[in-house]
Structure 1
Amino acid sequence: EGNQPLVILLHGLTGSSQSGYIKGLQQALLEQGLRSAALNFRGCSGEYNDSSRCYHSGETGDIDFLYRTLRAREPQTPMAAVGFSIGGNVLLKWLGEQGAKLQLFAATAVSVPLVLSACASKLDSGFSKIYRASLLRELKDYVRLKQVHLESLGKTEEAELLRQIGDLEDIKSFWQYDDRVIASLYDFANVADYYQRSSSRQFLQAIRVPTLLIQAADDPFMTSEVIPELKELSASVFLEITEAGGHVGFIAGNNPRHPEYWLERRIPEWLLQRLDYV
């Protein structure tokens, strides 16, 4: 307690603060004397929020609110942030938007869909379609159940915004989902506008917090065009590309019955290294 370092954690698409990679990292951080606070994106905690507002890849308002709330409560505490997948995209975009305004000693972003359009297209092809079907099913259920929740609260105007999206059954791709749901709810011109404005790659040059970006070459959610060139990185961004790791996997060790999660070593190692400079 007191000034013990605190790490903000952001989960990925359809995840939560209870996701295995979040809880595993929390335990690893705790063993190194680092506290953590895991943010649930809107509607991801198991309880639906009371508005039509959802979460999306470029929504940085909630992480900014959490950070400023924690900073006001603990003005002297060393703080860092870690984001996975879409949570990593949100984190990098926020870091770039804020520039030198943040009091963070370090950040880490893992398996980040830095170019949203490329990642959405990748999920429409080959083996990646397996992941697309499952994720889209969860996202469509999320919208339907949120509408029911709002109707049960008597929030007819909010529920109507979701009802106007129409039947979700004919949505077969992320391009369609993001165009019909996200772009309309957030007043983007269309899905292309949403992807362009929300992709975090364009914000890397503006980041001033020491940030480790970990990507796997075999990530089924991405293609090689997602990986930024070195000239796109600010002096504060350090890119690590592993040959294997999949999407938020990075399983090590030789015993499949007792897998070792490399991220649970690498992330605390990086944070403690940067903490030495504080």
Structure 2
Amino acid sequence: MPRTALPRLFFARNTASIPVKGLGNPTKVPLDEFVAANCPSLFKEYESPWWLFNGHLQTLYCVLGDFSKIDKVEYDRTFLRTTDGGTIGLDFTPSPSERILPNDTPIVVVLHGLTGGSHESYVRSILAPACSPVEDGGLGYRAVVVNFRGCAGVPLTTPQLYSAGTTCDLVVALMHISKLYPSAPLLGVAFSLGANVLVRYLAEEGSRSRLTSACIMACPWNLVANSSRLESNFFRRNIYSRGMAQNLTTVVQRHLDTLARFPDSPLSRAFPRFLESGEFTLANYDDMVACVAGGPYPPFPFETVLHYYAWASTHEVLADVTIPLLALNADDDPMVQVLPIDKGVDNLSPSVVFALTTGGGHLGWFEKGSYWGHSKRWVSKPVIEWLRATGKDMVISPSQARKLIEVDGYLMEEGRDTLGCQVVEGGEHIIGVEGEEGLFAGL
């Protein structure tokens, strides 16, 4: 039977006050009142379709469903070369050839899931309404999807990958976007692994964050506990863990030519050992590959996967977030069973609202009325409401981010000489999901 219930909302004991625009001076509103006034969908029941009545079905439909004909979004891609030689891909929408927007238009900055990209249906389900013109019922915003190294057609130019805790590529992406649009508020939206990266970024940057608000979905939070739950359950281990490991294996195999140029690198040595092990699970991949090649040295390499998971987890740094953050999880997510609010709200930042739905799976949240080939995601409603409120109604405080400077052709931040980027050739217009064969979508 379909599960129907109101989302459960959790706030810190003392919530932050949100400055909102008014006829005169800005008015400060407690976060819980701000949410109640601007996110009505969080106060209405979410009902799943009768044929997607549990988290496994929701998640598997997210992987196997056909979403190619809905929520179409086109992008213009820019490649950024980082100071360590790596490459990340930024996909901008709408294209200037389609629509010219004012320079102060709010920008949604998106981080995808484990092996995804701008093509993913869960990404497009948010960006289609966020970036549609106001006259067509959309927000009229601009968006940029940050595609991780090696994902979604982004070339791997060094033997360093990405991980659930590596934030340096997000830092340089936000530097570039801020340089292009210095007067635009930047609103973060992130999914699954990308959500974990975003929370770490917000906790690390604090008041220097270039994002003015954020919304995350299906964050894995406590990686140690949730990995243990995933790997110790026969079904989850053999379906989800192996499926994610297969995706990661496919991504790395697409870049074997690059690895051949770095035969002595940690990644070039670790990946063949992982293949030879025959143990294609997410935990084993993380133990043998992500631990050594998922980010810069230091802190990589990690001694064991548990050390890596403990470092990358976000449940304990959530209290350090200083901007308004909406976090959404489903209570039947088969990959995320342990949540920060399981033991109360003491580790919630005053700026965080945590919403837990009854049903929805992992990045599913398909709602009643969905059918094969035309599925509606309930989660797009509260996300769009949140983006509208924090992008248009919230008063943005003056940025405390570090000053941008240029050093030897690289865009950098004053006082942080280890991170920088420059635009390189190779960008293109992106339509559809070509080139993503061999990957399970939605993971």
TM-score by length of 1: 0.92
Q: In structure 1, how many angstroms separate the alpha carbons of the residues matched to 2:270 and 2:209?
A: 39
Distance 2:341 2:249 in 1: 29
With 100-109 and 11-20 compared, the bigger mean Cα shift is at: 100-109
Tell me which residue corresponds to 1:243: 358
Correspondence 1:11 to 2:11: no
| Length-normalised TM-score, structure 2 | 0.59
Determine the C-alpha separation between the residues in 2 that align with 1:118 and 1:172.
Answer: 20
**Structure 2 partner of 1:220:** 334
Alpha-carbon distance, 1:227 to partner: 4.2
Match of 1:183 among 288, 291, 294: 291
Matches within 5 A, 1:244-259: 244-257=359-372, 258-259=374-375
In the alignment, structure 1 residue 122 sits paired with structure 2 residue 236: no
In 2, the alpha carbon distance for the partners of 1:231 and 1:269 equals 26
Aligned residue number for residue 252 of structure 2: 143
**Do 1:60 and 1:94's aligned partners in 2 also have CA atoms closer than 8 Å?**
yes
Q: What CA distance in whole angstroms lies between the structure 1 residues aligned with 2:243 and 2:127?
A: 26
2:221–2:315 Cα contact (<8 Å) kept:
yes
Q: Which structure has the larger Rg?
A: 2
Query: Residue 162 of structure 1 aligns to which amino acid in structure 2?
Result: S
**Map of 1:36-51 to 2, 5 A cutoff?**
36-51=143-158
Partner residue of 1:112? 219
Q: Is the 8 A contact 1:39 1:63 kept in 2?
A: yes
Which of 308, 318, 322 is equivalent to 1:194? 308
Match of 2:31 in 1: none
Identity %: 30
Query: How far apart are the structure 2 equivalents of 1:90 and 1:97?
Result: 10
**Number of the residue aligned with 1:82:** 189
Q: Does the aligned pair in 2 maintain the 1:212–1:240 contact within 8 Å?
A: yes
**For residues 263 and 140 of structure 1, what CA distance do their matches in structure 2 show?**
30
Deviation at 1:224, TM superposition (A): 3.7
Contact 1:118 1:222 (8 Å CA) reproduced: no
**Aligned residue pair count:** 275
Q: Tell me by how many angstroms 1:263 deviates.
A: 2.0
- Displacement, 1:145? 3.3
Structure 2 SS opposite 1:201: coil
Q: Deviations over 1:77-109 (max 9, x none)?
A: 111101100000000111011111124331001
Evaluate the alpha carbon distance shift between residue 255 and residue 167 of structure 1 in structure 2; reply closer, same or farther with a 3 A threshold: closer
Q: How far does residue 3 in structure 1 lie from its aligned partner after superposition?
A: 0.7
Displacement of 1:200 in angstroms is 1.1
Choose between structure 1 and 2 for higher RCO, CA contacts under 8 A separated by at least 6 residues. Answer: 2
In the alignment, structure 1 segments of 5+ residues that lack a partner are: none
Which is richer in strand? 2
Q: Secondary structure at the match of 2:110?
A: strand
Question: Does 1:101 find its partner at 2:208?
Answer: yes
334, 346, 357: which is aligned to 1:231? Answer: 346
Aligned amino acid, residue 277 of structure 1: M
Residue of structure 2 equivalent to 1:277: 394
Q: CA RMSD in A?
A: 1.8
Gaps of at least 5 residues in structure 2 are 1-100, 132-137, 294-299, 396-443
Relative to structure 1, is the Cα distance of residues 167 and 182 closer, same or farther in structure 2, using a 3 angstrom cutoff?
Answer: closer
